[in-house]
Structure 1
Amino acid sequence: MKALLSSLDFERYQPRTYIYCHGDNMSLNAVAEIESQKGSLTHAKAYGLLPLPRARHVGQPVLTTSISVIKTLIVTIHHLLVVPLFTRPTEPFADLLIVNGPGTCVVLVVVAWIRRILGLSYTKIIYVESFARVKSLSMSGKLVRPFVDRFLVQWPQASDHKAECKGWLV
């Protein structure tokens, strides 16, 4: 994801908001690195950080997953639907939403679709399947596939009529 985000036109996409899960220090470090290299070429601090609760932890029992997903959904609706509705109702919360494999991305796609259904804004959604998914799609990929504008996989074996194989993106 870091390599993919580094290739974005930072002049076109600003301000940028990086959405990450609480406790995901690796993603925070990657954002800091990307922004220190490329972001400083555009505008100082043309980005924000939005932490969300993790929708599902690795190995989490199915029974408790629904509770954490609902918690993530409530927080995401607050940040991406309610707050923008009252602060800037005519503007989209994002022009482009690039998401990848973790379960939290499913919640983000759902909230983006709620905005579409309510006629609030149209955010283009691009899903990038994990590099590790060589032959089959992840559960998150299977769930969001019908709802994204572009569905990218990194291995030809995982592509089909809806999935585009663009080779290694990371």
Structure 2
Amino acid sequence: MDQLQFEVILLLLLAVVARLAYMIHKITTGSNLYAPKRSAPCKTAICIGSGGHTTEMLKLIENISFQHYNPRYYFISSSDKTSLRKVTDFESDKSFAINKDYFICYIPRSRAVNQSYISSVFTTLISVFYSFPHFLKIRPDMLLCNGPGTCIPLCIISFVLKCCFICNTRIIFIESFCRTKSFSLTGKILIYIADNFLVQWPYLKIKLKRSEYIGQLL
């Protein structure tokens, strides 16, 4: 590698670091809190966890306009049959919706219950590998997630693509109902990359000024 190639690579790396720092600063200071108004339908990716996470997410989106938020892409763990049934039932029940354009995207679970943090690093990387083609093809306008480890790979991919000017997905994170006084591990990570950070308890709003208190979903 000659001197010129080294300098070009160094400049590119510095540009990437500067872009990452700018995006994180913009998000953490609340400068990116409000999204511009849009007239076209919002292509929406929805991360479905399991158990209570699934119930919370479906409760959150039950009153949205399917006409304005379409198509909808549900990202579900390939082993989570219960959540799959809940999502399909939910979509079927909204028979009054004008637009029922939705898709199911299966991805590997990034972290199982009681799995060690060290081993979860490797399973998360595997999940990122499998999720990336889906996300690159869809390039959603908005990503909704509410706590399960399944959403970490999706948020990382979304943030990286945004930093690279490939897409402009808005990440909206809703902290779990059971988190009344402290943030989940997912929340502690997404504080730095989620455009909107929603909480269900007033105390968490005090802990993170840029968060938005929405009350209890359940």
The answer to whether TM tops 0.5 is yes
Offset, 1:122: 0.6
Correspondence for 2:192: 146
Offset, 1:39: 5.3
CA distance 1:67–1:169, change in 2 (3 Å): same
TM-score by length of structure 1 reads 0.88
User: C-alpha distance in 2, partners of 1:78/1:39?
Assistant: 31
The number of aligned residues is 160
User: C-alpha distance in 1, partners of 2:84/2:184?
Assistant: 23
Correspondence for 1:11: 67
Amino acid at match of 1:74: F
Q: Comparing 49-58 with 72-81, which one deviates more in the overlay?
A: 72-81
- 1:74 matched to 2:129? The reply is yes
Name the SS of the counterpart of 2:192 in structure 1.
Answer: helix
- What percentage of aligned pairs have identical amino acids? 33
Match of 1:47 among 78, 83, 102: 102
CA distance 1:102–1:119, change in 2 (3 Å): same
Amino acid at match of 1:62: Y
Unaligned runs of 5+ in 2: 1-56
- 1:132 matched to 2:175? The reply is no
Unaligned runs of 5+ in 1: 85-91
- 1:109 matched to 2:155? The reply is yes
Correspondence for 1:118: 164
Greater RCO structure (CA 8 Å; 6+ sep): 2
CA RMSD of aligned residues (A): 1.5
Offset, 1:68: 0.4
Match of 2:145 among 99, 106, 110: 99
Correspondence for 1:87: none
Match of 2:79 among 19, 23, 46: 23
CA distance 1:96–1:64, change in 2 (3 Å): same
Name the SS of the counterpart of 2:115 in structure 1.
Answer: coil
User: C-alpha distance in 2, partners of 1:95/1:39?
Assistant: 24
TM-score by length of structure 2 reads 0.69
Name the SS of the counterpart of 2:186 in structure 1.
Answer: helix
Q: Is the 8 A contact 1:10 1:39 kept in 2?
A: no
Name the SS of the counterpart of 2:191 in structure 1.
Answer: helix
